[in-house]
């Protein structure tokens, strides 16, 4: 059975499917899900992420973490965690960049939160030589300082969409029409969890909400508030957006989100306001554009340094990678960095307070 047939049968039997269920099924179905069955990254895959563009991304993020660790008195041991590590490239680059920071690698207990068995296998290979623990979620994290990175993790978490109708909300769902998957709207209902959004929206506005954020951010913030540490969250999105941002990418092209379930990546813009609110036991930085963040932390010096060893096509690729990560018209502005850190302590280097 294909994933499309599976989803259609589920809708035929039980009625329209919420978008969060659709996303989870498409991305993480145990045998037919997008992430569970493949390595989607890079030129041969469907999309490319910052750590796959250049080693400099992971190096700079790693050094930001290590500097914050030093600024907080080099607590030992500590958890070095990454959410949704993809191929493990970012963590490998970060660890290599930090190997000369005295005591850092020895004190780090590396934990990777990854849902896909296929990607866990690749991460194990990429990080050979390091002791790595896998976790399904953050609940099991030890009570100790937490230094955490999440790049393009939150955009993969399942969202629900609601259209404002008076003081109620009509949920957008996936149904069947003439045998094809199609979007529809459920009847209007009160949604107590969305009461605060009644002040910031008008009739006809569409909003997105992600229930998975709260438990994740609450746990991260609790560890950092109690024991110290920092969370560096990098993603595309903004501060409480309105409108439909569900998108599917296949072979580096946008495709209709209902067109090829399980064969395209599905993401939505991240609402950083929801992240900050769920992590309110910590202070948070302002949203800082990725390009500004990387420049402040010295990516250009690093790029120049690496360039001295390169010629020809390799040099051109390297220069293009630097441009792609930092330029405002490429990833520099679209992607934002937000840090979570203990109340009363200084934010990590690179972010706007």
SS3 of residue 219 by DSSP: helix
Which alpha helices (DSSP H) does the chain contain, by range? 3-14, 19-28, 34-37, 50-53, 55-71, 89-97, 104-107, 117-126, 213-227, 272-278, 290-296, 299-307, 312-326, 333-334
Distance, in Å, from the CA atom of 95 to the CA atom of 102, rounded to the nearest integer, reads 12
Smaller CB distance to ligand SAH: residue 36 or 277? 36
Q: What is the smallest separation between the CB atom of 113 and ligand SAH, expressed in angstroms? A: 5
Smaller CB distance to ligand SAH: residue 63 or 283? 63
Q: Does 17 bind ligand SAH (CB under 6 A)?
A: no
Nearest Cα residue to 326 out of 43, 89, 97, 57: 57
Distance, in Å, from the CA atom of 151 to the CA atom of 217, rounded to the nearest integer, reads 14
Smaller CB distance to ligand SAH: residue 151 or 191? 151
The residues with which 237 forms a beta bridge, in sequence order, are 270
Strands 132-135 and 108-113, how do they pair? parallel
Nearest Cα residue to 79 out of 164, 139, 15: 139
Smaller CB distance to ligand SAH: residue 33 or 279? 33
Distance, in Å, from the CA atom of 141 to the CA atom of 82, rounded to the nearest integer, reads 12
Smaller CB distance to ligand SAH: residue 64 or 283? 64
Smaller CB distance to ligand SAH: residue 90 or 207? 90
Q: What is the smallest separation between the CB atom of 311 and ligand SAH, expressed in angstroms? A: 28
Q: Does 337 bind ligand SAH (CB under 6 A)?
A: no
Smaller CB distance to ligand SAH: residue 170 or 269? 269
Q: Which two tokens stand for residue 267?
A: 């993401």
Nearest-CB residue to ligand SAH? 84
Q: Does 262 bind ligand SAH (CB under 6 A)?
A: no
Q: What is the smallest separation between the CB atom of 52 and ligand SAH, expressed in angstroms? A: 6
User: Between 293 and 332, how does the x/- string for binding to ligand SAH read (CB under 6 A)?
Assistant: ----------------------------------------
Nearest Cα residue to 62 out of 299, 271, 318, 274: 299
Query: What count of other Cβ atoms lies within 10 Å of the Cβ of residue 252?
Result: 10
Q: 286: buried, middle or exposed (CB in 10 Å: 19+, 13-18, 0-12)?
A: middle
Strands 270-271 and 132-135, how do they pair? unpaired
Contacts to ligand SAH from residues 238-257, by CB under 6 A: none
Smaller CB distance to ligand SAH: residue 108 or 163? 108
Q: What is the smallest separation between the CB atom of 158 and ligand SAH, expressed in angstroms? A: 8
Contacts to ligand SAH from residues 137-176, by CB under 6 A: 151-153, 156
Nearest Cα residue to 282 out of 236, 233, 349: 233
Q: What is the smallest separation between the CB atom of 220 and ligand SAH, expressed in angstroms? A: 13
Q: Does 236 bind ligand SAH (CB under 6 A)?
A: no
Q: Contact, 351 vs 293, CB < 8 A?
A: yes
Number of residues that bind ligand SAH (CB under 6 A): 19
Distance, in Å, from the CA atom of 332 to the CA atom of 325, rounded to the nearest integer, reads 6
Among 22, 35, 236, 335, binds ligand SAH (CB under 6 A): 35
Q: What is the smallest separation between the CB atom of 157 and ligand SAH, expressed in angstroms? A: 6
Please report, in angstroms and rounded to a whole number, the separation of the first and last CA atoms in the chain: 51
Q: Does 338 bind ligand SAH (CB under 6 A)?
A: no
Smaller CB distance to ligand SAH: residue 209 or 242? 209
Contacts to ligand SAH from residues 58-117, by CB under 6 A: 84-86, 90, 113-116
Q: What is the smallest separation between the CB atom of 216 and ligand SAH, expressed in angstroms? A: 9
Distance, in Å, from the CA atom of 297 to the CA atom of 190, rounded to the nearest integer, reads 46
Q: Note the residues at the interface with ligand SAH (CB under 6 A).
A: 27, 35, 41, 49, 51-52, 84-86, 90, 113-116, 119, 151-153, 156
């Amino acid at each position: 059975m294909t994933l499309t047939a599976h989803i259609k049968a589920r809708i035929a039997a039980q009625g329209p499917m919420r978008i969060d269920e659709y996303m989870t099924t498409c991305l993480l179905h145990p045998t037919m899900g997008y992430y569970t069955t493949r390595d989607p990254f890079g030129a041969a895959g469907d999309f490319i992420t910052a750590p796959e563009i250049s080693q400099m991304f992971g190096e700079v993020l790693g050094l930001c973490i290590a500097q914050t660790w030093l600024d907080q008195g080099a607590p030992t041991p500590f958890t070095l965690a990454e959410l949704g590590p993809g191929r493990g490239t970012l963590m490998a680059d970060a660890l290599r960049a930090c190997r000369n920071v005295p005591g850092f690698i020895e004190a780090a207990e590396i934990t990777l939160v990854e849902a896909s068995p296929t990607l866990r296998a690749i991460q194990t290979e990429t990080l050979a030589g390091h002791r790595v623990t896998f976790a399904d979620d953050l609940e099991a994290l030890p009570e100790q300082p937490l230094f955490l990175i999440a790049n393009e993790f939150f955009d993969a978490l399942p969202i629900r969409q609601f259209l404002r109708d008076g003081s109620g909300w009509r949920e957008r769902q996936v149904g069947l029409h003439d045998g094809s998957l199609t979007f529809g709207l459920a009847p209007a209902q009160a949604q107590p969890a969305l009461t605060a959004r009644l002040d910031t929206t008008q009739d006809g506005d569409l909003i997105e909400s992600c229930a998975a954020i709260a438990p994740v951010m609450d746990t991260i913030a609790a560890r950092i508030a109690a024991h110290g540490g920092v969370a560096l969250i990098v993603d595309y999105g903004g501060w409480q957006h309105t409108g439909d941002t569900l998108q599917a990418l296949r072979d580096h092209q946008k495709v209709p989100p209902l067109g090829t379930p399980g064969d395209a990546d599905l993401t939505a813009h991240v609402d950083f306001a929801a992240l900050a609110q769920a992590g309110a036991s910590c202070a948070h930085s302002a949203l800082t554009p990725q390009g500004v963040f990387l420049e402040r932390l010295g990516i250009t010096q690093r790029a120049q340094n690496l360039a001295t060893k390169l010629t020809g096509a390799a040099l051109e690729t390297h220069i293009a990678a630097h441009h792609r990560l930092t330029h405002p018209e490429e990833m520099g502005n679209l992607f934002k960095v937000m840090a979570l850190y203990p109340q009363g302590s200084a934010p990590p280097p690179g972010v706007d307070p």
